[in-house]
Amino acid sequence: MTDPILEVENLSAAYSSYRALFGVSFVVPDNGIIALVGSNGSGKSTLARVVSGLVPASGGSVRVAGHDVTRWPAYRIARLGLAHVPEGRAIFSSLTVEENLTVSFSKSVGRKGTAEALARAYDAFPVLSERRRQLGGTLSGGQQRILSLAKVLAVPPKLLIVDELSLGLAPVIVDQVYDGLSAIHREGCALLVVEQQVDRVLAIADRAILLVKGAVAWEGPARDARQTLEARMLGGASANGTAAAVTTNGTAPALRRDAPVPQSTAPGAAAETTAHPSDLWVVGPTFPSPN
């Protein structure tokens, strides 16, 4: 059995006096796919940034490919074969699609290998080939996310961390993004996928990890995750084992976005709604943003 590509042990992190992670531990097997899910503010993006060296750890350890990288800068961790596609659209808006790709590919494969890398990116994402002369800043949001993902195709990393790739995208674009992830995985790349659209990521993942308020509330096989996540996110046990519902702000129970609106049963009372719906989509979004 090969060693895990990523080992996180008792990891903690903070922003000044605000603690964001509390003793998080998990592993990503070589060529495995791990889904990291949870509501907004649960610590998912912070965890991704700590692993890739963008945010320092305040406790615990991170090992990549057998190396303790807990105190390493991001560029040293990247040299071990870790790539991080952060939330948002990490592209140069004033450069064309091809110029964006060329800048990235020339660093990873050199000038001689850039033409082949471009061909691979265009084959994986035909929309980029169609718009190769278009400025990055004029692409749709989904196309910009595809462009940011295509940058890792030149030399697929050993571990790819992707943060909220589907956020705000139309379903057809999300399909293209996940097709791209699957293609990268077939090249032998392990994936740590931070995602709110749970059904999407569970369809490709081996295991799932639920973060609640900076701590691991549940971990297990992806095939067993849906029922557990529904119970925990929609009124089940909290991270510390109590019966309280998991919430994003600690005040009101979370509702699934397609759940019926609760109504007061008191005579003559006006209908009331729960003020703070969950940010975790256990099923796909009902109203995707247009792209």
Query: Alpha-carbon distance 159 to 188, whole Å?
Result: 9
Query: Is 70 within a domain?
Result: yes
Other Cβ atoms within 10 Å of 83 Cβ, number: 20
User: pLDDT value at position 233?
Assistant: 63
What global pTM score does this model have? 0.75
Q: What is the mean pLDDT of each run of 10 residues along the chain (291 residues)?
A: 88 93 96 92 94 96 96 94 82 93 88 90 89 93 86 85 82 84 89 89 94 94 85 52 37 38 41 38 40 47
CATH code of 63's domain: 3.40.50.300
Query: Is 137 within a domain?
Result: no
Query: Alpha-carbon distance 257 to 34, whole Å?
Result: 24
User: pLDDT value at position 226?
Assistant: 84
Are 211 and 22 spatial neighbours (Cβ–Cβ below 8 Å)?
Answer: no
User: pLDDT value at position 88?
Assistant: 65
Q: Which two tokens stand for residue 194?
A: 């931070």
Amino acid identity at 233:
M
Amino acid identity at 222:
A
Query: Is 111 within a domain?
Result: no
Find the domain containing 212 and state its range.
Answer: 6-90+153-225
Count of domains for the chain: 1
Other Cβ atoms within 10 Å of 10 Cβ, number: 13
User: pLDDT value at position 234?
Assistant: 57
Query: Is 279 within a domain?
Result: no
Comparing CA positions, the residue from 179, 151, 148, 156 lying closest to residue 82 is: 156
User: pLDDT value at position 90?
Assistant: 73
Query: Is 265 within a domain?
Result: no
Query: Is 220 within a domain?
Result: yes
Query: Is 212 within a domain?
Result: yes
Query: Is 260 within a domain?
Result: no
Are 51 and 26 spatial neighbours (Cβ–Cβ below 8 Å)?
Answer: no
Query: Alpha-carbon distance 145 to 89, whole Å?
Result: 6
What is the DSSP-derived secondary structure letter of residue 96?
Answer: B
